[in-house]
Amino acid sequence: MDFAYADCIKIIGGLLTTIQDQQRTRQTFTAILNQAAELDKSSLWVEREVKFEILAHSIGREELLALELKYAPILDDQTLDLYNARKRRFRSTN
């Protein structure tokens, strides 16, 4: 992953602003980073997943996952892999 310090602070700040809980913010960011390392994903993927988690926190995780599947332009292996990664993101951290 290729993160500049300022980018990392900005991303974490966005999460903290939305979640309003330092411990939950740390758990969320750590879970995303761990998944990125496990799945060999880029810093762009991390940033996109942080944005997903911000939105998920705002409207509900299960609701957002269902909406993304329902309105996916193409329901292919890549879409399903991302769905599954998001579903299992917090299983090891809770």
- Mean pLDDT taken over the chain: 90
Query: pLDDT by residue (tens digit) across 33-86?
Result: 999 999 999 989 999 999 999 999 999 999 999 999 999 999 999 999 999 999
How far is Cα 84 from Cα 94, in angstroms, rounded to an integer?
17
Main-chain dihedrals φ then ψ at residue 85, nearest 5 degrees: -65, -45
The pTM of this model reads 0.86
Query: pLDDT by residue (tens digit) across 17-45?
Result: 999 999 999 999 999 999 999 999 998 99
Domain boundaries, the chain: 5-88
